[in-house]
């Protein structure tokens, strides 16, 4: 199979779809890999490293999209890339379609087979291709929030862990999944006062057993969200509805009652955000202030640590890329229900129920279309 890796063009996005190590695995399995010139340059993955792994270096994205059977990316195709997609071409990347009707229409109209990293599942009920970036984003959320709390960023001028005789900052994490757990872990590491809200008693028990008195776990209700968010110095939005839009758990009115200079970090912004006041920002201009509250809503947070993120992502995606290349997309999707859950668009048909529900569109079950 001919596999193409275009250079990412989303603003301040330096991750790359395949590392030289992944390329070598694919070449060893008999496949051709085309990598756009300088695709990994920013993270010290030079063209020479790709050539040494057996890749062909090509100058333009147009050449990759014109020749490749399978496109492996990181971020969703940008408006200039969607017209390059061909009917029957396989696209494997993060898509986050639920809050993005324009991209959804473009993929449907293209006739491509679009498989989303974020909706691929595993036998443990997890999202294995979202998890590594959720780990990165969760840990970064505290780092970003700590910086945003500094006075010159518009924050309260607080140190997360406090110092002798001065209380630590109050960090509230909404959601106890991969993002929330990693955020809480880092916040505890700098000795902040950490509260995690979640609707799963089982998950709260796990966190309690794991971290003991270092963490405060609270069952999430409307009252609890209002009580803890209003008093927080830093709030991390870490909720996820697989494939669907994130629920708005913090209202505009609640934001207006927060302390002046408090910080909201919305890790769910890729799925529309879980704060009513959120809007996507970029690594170039990451924060804005509304009602005196600093908002950090970067939609590609792991892109700030692109080298770490690229290797972590490739560790998770490579087995699925190999399956698609070795078996062909139809057999790979038919054989593996977890990979099939990643199928969002198939030759002009929407195939993911949560995406269809949030966008008000109809969908066809993937297995019906494949068989």
What residues are labeled active site?
A: 96, 270
For residue 240, count CB atoms less than 10 angstroms from its CB and return exposed for 0-12, middle for 13-18, buried for 19 or more.
buried
The three-state secondary structure class of 69 is: coil
Q: How far apart are CA 277 and CA 256, in angstroms?
A: 10
For 88-144, give the secondary structure using H, E and C: CCEEEECCCCCCCHHHHHHHHHHCCEEEEHHHCCCCCCCCCCCHHHHHHHHHHHHHH
**Are residues 151 and 113 in contact, defined by beta-carbon separation less than 8 angstroms?**
no
Q: How far apart are CA 175 and CA 107, in angstroms?
A: 31
Q: How far apart are CA 229 and CA 255, in angstroms?
A: 8
Residues 6+ apart with CB under 8 A from 221: none
């Amino acid at each position: 199979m001919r596999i193409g890796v275009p250079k990412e063009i989303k603003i301040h996005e330096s991750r790359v779809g395949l590392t030289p190590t992944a390329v070598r695995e694919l070449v060893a399995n008999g496949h051709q890999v085309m990598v756009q010139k300088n695709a990994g340059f920013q993270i010290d993955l030079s063209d020479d490293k790709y050539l040494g792994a057996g890749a062909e270096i090509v100058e333009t994205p147009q050449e990759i999209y014109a020749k490749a059977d399978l496109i492996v990316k990181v971020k969703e195709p940008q408006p200039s890339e969607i017209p390059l997609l061909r009917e029957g071409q396989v696209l494997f990347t993060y898509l986050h379609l639920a809050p993005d009707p324009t991209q959804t229409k473009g993929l449907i109209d293209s006739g491509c087979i679009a498989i989303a990293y974020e909706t691929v599942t595993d036998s443990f009920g997890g999202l294995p291709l979202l998890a590594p970036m959720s780990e990165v984003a969760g840990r970064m959320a505290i780092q970003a929030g700590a910086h945003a709390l500094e006075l010159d960023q518009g924050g309260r001028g607080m140190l997360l862990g406090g110092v002798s005789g001065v209380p630590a900052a109050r960090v509230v994490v909404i959601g106890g999944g991969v993002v929330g757990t990693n955020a809480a872990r880092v916040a505890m590491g700098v000795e902040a006062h950490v509260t995690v809200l979640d609707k799963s008693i089982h998950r709260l028990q796990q966190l309690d057993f794991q971290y003991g008195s270092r963490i405060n776990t609270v069952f999430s209700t409307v009252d609890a969200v209002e009580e803890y968010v209003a008093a927080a110095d830093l709030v991390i939005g870490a909720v996820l509805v697989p494939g669907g839009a994130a629920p708005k758990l913090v209202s505009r009115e609640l934001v207006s009652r927060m302390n002046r200079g408090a910080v909201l970090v919305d890790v769910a912004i890729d799925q529309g955000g879980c704060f009513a006041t959120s809007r996507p920002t970029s690594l170039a201009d990451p924060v804005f202030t509304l009602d005196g509250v600093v908002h950090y809503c970067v939609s590609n947070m792991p892109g700030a640590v692109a080298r770490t993120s690229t290797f972590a992502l490739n560790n998770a995606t490579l087995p699925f890329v190999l399956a698609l290349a070795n078996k062909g997309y139809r057999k790979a999707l038919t054989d593996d229900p977890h990979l099939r859950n990643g199928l969002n668009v198939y030759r002009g048909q929407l195939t993911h129920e949560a995406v269809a529900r949030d966008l008000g569109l109809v969908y066809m079950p993937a297995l019906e279309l494949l068989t």
